[in-house]
C-alpha cells in the first residue's frame, strides 16, 4: 500500500521533533538530564547500608580462596543444610571481594563499583530509548514515574544490580538485532555466562531473548509472507538457544546448578518482605499510585502508537504482572519501562505537546531543573549517599548490624555456635568464621533445609514453646535484635528474675546488651556480662573491610590444616 502524503509529512515532523537541533536545545536537555540524575541519586541515597547478602557472598569466596576450590557442602552453619549448597551469587562475592579487599580500596572500592554499575545502567537505558526514537526531553520528564518501584535493586551492593545492568545491555543488543546486526549474539553468550555466575536473574535474560526471538520471527514471517525467509532472518537466534542452554554448566557447581535453579524458582517466600505483593511494600500508597500512572502511560502508548513500533510490549506486560505479585521484580519492570515507554510516548500527541511546552518555557524549565538538582543533591549529601555503612542502630530500613556485639564476642574469644537472625548471620560469618558458626543467614534456600527458617521465626516471635528451639539445635550463644518479640520473653533469664523459667538443656544468661542487640550465652561459655545500653556505637563498615584479614590467615598452611 502506498504511503499517503499526510503520513509522510507526519513522520517527517516526528523525526524532526525527536532530534535536538540547536545548542539551546542541547543545553536544556543537559539540565533535564542533570535533574533526572540528581533525582535518582536522591531516591537511592538512603540505601547506602551494605546489604547482608554481600557478606555471605564474600565469605564464600574468601573460603574458596583459602581451600583452593568451592565447597560443595555448606561450611558456615551448624543447623541442617542442603547438599549440594549451590550459591548462584558466588561471582558477585568475587566482584565485591576484589573491589574492596583485593584492590585495597575498602569502602571506596565498594562505592566505585556501585557508581560504575548505576552509570552503566543509565547509559544503556538512554541508548536504547534513543535508538527507539525517544526524545531526550521525554526520557528525562517521565522516567521518574517508576522510581518508587525501581529501588529494590540498588542496595550496596546487591547481585540484582548486575542483573539490571545486563538486562539493559541485552535490550541494546536486541535493538542491534532489529537493525540486521548478528555479531551481538557472541557478546550476549559471553555476557550470559558471566551473568549466571553473578545472579540467578539471568533467567530474566533468557525469557527476554525468547520473547524477542518469537517477535522477530513473527514480524519477519508476516512481513515477508514466507516461513523460510523468517528462518533466514532469525537463524542466529535459533542457533543461540542450544548454546545458551549449554552455558548453564559453566560454573563452579557444574550441572548441579540446574536442579537448584528449578527448586529456587518454584519456591514460595511468603516470610520475606520483598517477595510480597506490590501493595505490601514500604510506602504502599505512593508505590501503587505511581505504578498505576506508569501503567496508564503504557496503555496510552499501546492505543496511540503504530503496532510495528510497539515491540517489547508483551514482555513489559509480563514484568508488570510480576511486579504486582512481588515488589522485588519492580526494578526489572522499571528498567524495561524506562527503555521502552518514553520512546513510545515521544511518538504520541502527548509527547509532542510536552516537547513543545518544554521548548516554549525554556527559562522556567531550566530554573526548575536547577532547583530540583540542588535540592536532590543536598538531600543525597546529607544522607552520605557515597559512603557505605553498617549502622549499629535502625535508620531508614530494617537493616541494623550487631557491630558492638560482634566486637564483644571477638574481644572475649568466643568460639562455638551462635544463633543469629536472618539479616545478621552473614555479617557474623564474615567477621568470625571459622571460630563461629551461625544458625541462619540470608542464603535461605541456597544453604538451609526447609524447617530452619520457620523454626527461627517461631523463636524470634516468642510463640508457642519458643524455648525448645534452643535445645533443638546445638546452640552455645544467642544473638537477638531487640525489636524481636522474643526479647521480652528472654527476660526470664535475666539475673534476679522471680518466676518460672522454661526448662532447657543449658542455663542461659545475659552477657551483652546495647540499644539494638543482646547476647545470651549458655553457662559453659564463661563470657563476662557487659552492658552497653545508652552507649554510642560506631558504624562498623570501615572496620569490616579495612581489617578483613586481621583475623584470617588465608595462606597459612598450618591454619588450613587445623581447620580442615
Convert the pLDDT of each residue in 304-331 to its tens digit.
988 888 999 999 999 999 989 888 888 9
Confirm if 4 and 332 have CB atoms less than 8 A apart. Answer: no
Q: Where is average pLDDT lowest: 4-13, 213-222, 230-239, 457-466?
A: 4-13
C-alpha distances (whole Å) from 218 to each of 116, 211, 233 are: 37, 11, 11
Q: Is the peptide bond before 339 cis (omega within 30 degrees of 0)?
A: no
Tens digits of per-residue pLDDT, 171-210?
Answer: 999 999 999 899 999 999 999 999 999 999 999 999 999 9
Residues 6+ apart with CB under 8 A from 62: 97, 101, 552, 554
Mean predicted confidence (pLDDT) in 433-455: 91
Lookup: cell for 399: 537493616
Res 458: pLDDT = 92
Mean predicted confidence (pLDDT) in 132-156: 90
d(CA 331, CA 89): 18
SS3 84: coil
Res 23: pLDDT = 55
Q: What is the pTM of this model?
A: 0.90
Tens digits of per-residue pLDDT, 404-423?
Answer: 999 999 999 999 999 999 88
Tens digits of per-residue pLDDT, 540-563?
Answer: 777 777 655 444 444 344 444 444
Q: What's the chain's average pLDDT?
A: 87
Count of CB atoms within 10 A of residue 326's CB? 17
Confirm if 74 and 447 have CB atoms less than 8 A apart. Answer: yes
Tens digits of per-residue pLDDT, 52-93?
Answer: 999 999 999 999 999 999 999 999 999 999 999 999 999 999
- Greater confidence (282 vs 299) lies with 299
Residue 130 scores a pLDDT above 60: yes
Res 1: pLDDT = 38
C-alpha distances (whole Å) from 481 to each of 53, 82, 249, 414, 428 are: 18, 26, 40, 19, 13
Residue 112 banded pLDDT, cuts 50, 70, 90? very high
- Percentage of residues in the chain having pLDDT higher than 90: 62
Residue 282 scores a pLDDT above 90: no
Tens digits of per-residue pLDDT, 327-371?
Answer: 888 899 999 999 999 999 999 999 999 999 999 999 999 999 999
Q: Where is average pLDDT lowest: 374-388, 424-438, 530-544?
A: 530-544
Confirm if 278 and 149 have CB atoms less than 8 A apart. Answer: yes
d(CA 53, CA 469): 25
Tens digits of per-residue pLDDT, 28-60?
Answer: 999 999 999 999 999 998 888 899 999 999 999
Residue 19 banded pLDDT, cuts 50, 70, 90? low
Q: What are phi and psi of 326, to 5 degrees?
A: -140, 120
Confirm if 196 and 247 have CB atoms less than 8 A apart. Answer: yes
Residue 468 scores a pLDDT above 50: yes
Res 16: pLDDT = 44
Residue 225 banded pLDDT, cuts 50, 70, 90? confident
Beta bridge partners of 49: 389
Residue 514 scores a pLDDT above 60: yes
Res 430: pLDDT = 94
Res 33: pLDDT = 95
Residue 431 banded pLDDT, cuts 50, 70, 90? very high
Res 270: pLDDT = 63
Count of CB atoms within 10 A of residue 9's CB? 10
SS3 1: coil
Res 395: pLDDT = 56
Residue 400 scores a pLDDT above 70: yes
Res 398: pLDDT = 56
Res 2: pLDDT = 41
Amino acid at each position: 500500500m502506498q504511503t499517503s502524503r499526510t503520513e509522510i509529512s507526519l513522520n517527517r515532523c516526528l523525526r524532526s521533533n525527536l532530534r535536538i537541533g540547536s545548542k539551546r536545545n542541547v543545553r536544556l536537555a543537559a539540565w533535564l538530564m542533570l535533574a533526572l540524575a540528581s533525582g535518582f541519586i536522591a531516591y537511592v541515597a538512603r540505601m547506602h547500608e551494605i546489604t547482608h547478602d554481600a557478606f555471605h557472598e564474600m565469605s564464600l569466596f574468601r573460603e574458596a580462596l583459602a581451600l583452593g576450590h568451592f565447597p560443595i557442602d555448606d561450611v558456615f552453619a551448624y543447623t541442617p543444610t542442603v547438599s549440594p549448597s549451590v550459591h548462584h551469587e558466588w561471582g558477585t562475592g568475587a566482584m565485591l571481594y576484589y573491589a574492596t579487599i583485593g584492590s585495597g580500596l575498602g569502602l571506596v572500592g565498594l562505592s566505585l563499583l556501585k557508581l560504575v554499575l548505576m552509570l552503566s545502567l543509565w547509559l544503556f537505558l538512554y541508548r536504547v530509548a534513543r535508538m527507539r526514537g525517544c526524545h531526550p526531553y521525554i526520557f528525562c520528564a517521565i522516567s521518574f514515574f517508576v522510581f518508587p518501584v525501581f529501588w529494590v535493586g540498588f542496595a550496596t551492593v546487591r547481585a540484582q544490580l548486575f542483573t539490571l545492568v545486563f538486562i539493559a545491555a541485552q535490550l541494546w543488543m536486541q535493538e542491534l538485532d532489529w537493525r540486521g546486526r548478528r555479531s551481538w549474539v557472541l557478546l550476549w553468550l559471553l555476557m550470559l555466562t558471566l551473568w549466571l555466575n553473578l545472579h540467578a536473574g539471568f533467567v530474566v535474560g533468557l525469557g527476554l531473548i525468547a520473547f524477542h526471538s518469537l517477535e522477530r520471527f513473527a514480524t519477519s514471517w508476516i512481513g515477508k509472507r514466507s516461513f523460510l525467509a523468517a528462518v533466514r532472518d532469525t537463524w542466529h537466534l535459533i542457533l543461540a538457544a542450544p548454546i545458551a542452554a549449554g552455558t548453564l554448566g559453566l560454573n563452579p557447581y557444574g550441572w548441579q546448578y540446574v536442579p537448584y535453579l528449578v527448586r529456587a524458582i518454584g519456591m514460595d517466600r511468603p516470610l520475606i518482605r520483598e517477595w510480597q505483593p506490590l501493595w505490601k511494600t514500604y510506602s504502599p500508597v505512593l508505590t501503587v499510585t505511581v505504578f498505576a500512572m506508569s501503567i496508564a502511560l503504557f496503555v496510552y502508548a499501546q492505543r496511540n502508537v503504530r503496532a510495528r513500533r510497539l515491540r517489547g510490549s508483551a514482555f513489559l506486560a509480563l514484568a508488570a504482572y510480576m511486579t504486582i505479585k512481588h515488589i522485588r521484580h519492580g526494578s526489572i519492570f522499571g528498567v524495561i519501562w524506562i527503555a521502552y515507554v518514553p520512546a513510545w510516548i515521544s511518538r504520541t500527541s502527548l509527547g509532542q505537546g510536552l516537547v513543545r511546552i518544554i521548548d516554549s518555557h525554556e527559562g522556567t524549565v531550566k530554573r526548575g531543573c536547577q532547583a530540583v538538582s540542588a535540592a536532590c543533591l543536598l538531600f543525597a549529601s546529607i544522607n552520605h549517599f557515597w559512603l557505605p555503612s553498617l549502622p549499629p542502630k535502625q535508620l531508614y530500613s530494617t537493616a541494623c548490624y550487631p557491630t558492638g556485639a560482634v566486637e564483644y564476642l571477638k574481644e572475649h574469644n568466643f568460639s562455638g555456635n551462635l544463633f543469629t537472625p536472618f539479616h545478621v548471620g552473614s555479617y557474623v560469618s564474615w567477621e568470625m568464621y571459622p571460630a563461629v558458626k551461625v544458625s541462619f543467614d540470608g542464603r535461605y534456600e541456597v544453604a538451609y533445609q526447609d524447617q530452619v527458617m520457620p523454626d527461627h521465626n517461631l523463636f524470634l516471635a516468642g510463640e508457642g514453646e519458643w524455648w525448645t528451639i534452643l535445645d533443638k539445635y546445638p546452640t552455645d550463644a544467642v544473638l537477638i535484635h531487640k525489636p524481636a518479640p522474643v526479647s521480652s520473653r528472654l527476660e526470664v533469664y535475666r539475673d534476679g528474675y522471680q518466676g518460672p523459667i522454661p526448662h532447657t538443656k543449658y542455663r542461659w544468661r545475659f552477657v551483652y546488651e546495647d540499644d539494638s542487640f543482646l547476647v545470651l550465652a549458655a553457662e559453659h561459655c564463661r563470657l563476662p556480662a557487659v552492658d552497653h545500653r545508652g552507649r554510642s556505637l560506631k558504624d562498623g563498615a570501615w572496620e569490616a573491610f579495612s581489617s578483613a584479614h586481621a583475623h584470617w590467615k588465608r595462606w597459612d598452611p598450618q591454619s588450613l590444616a587445623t581447620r580442615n
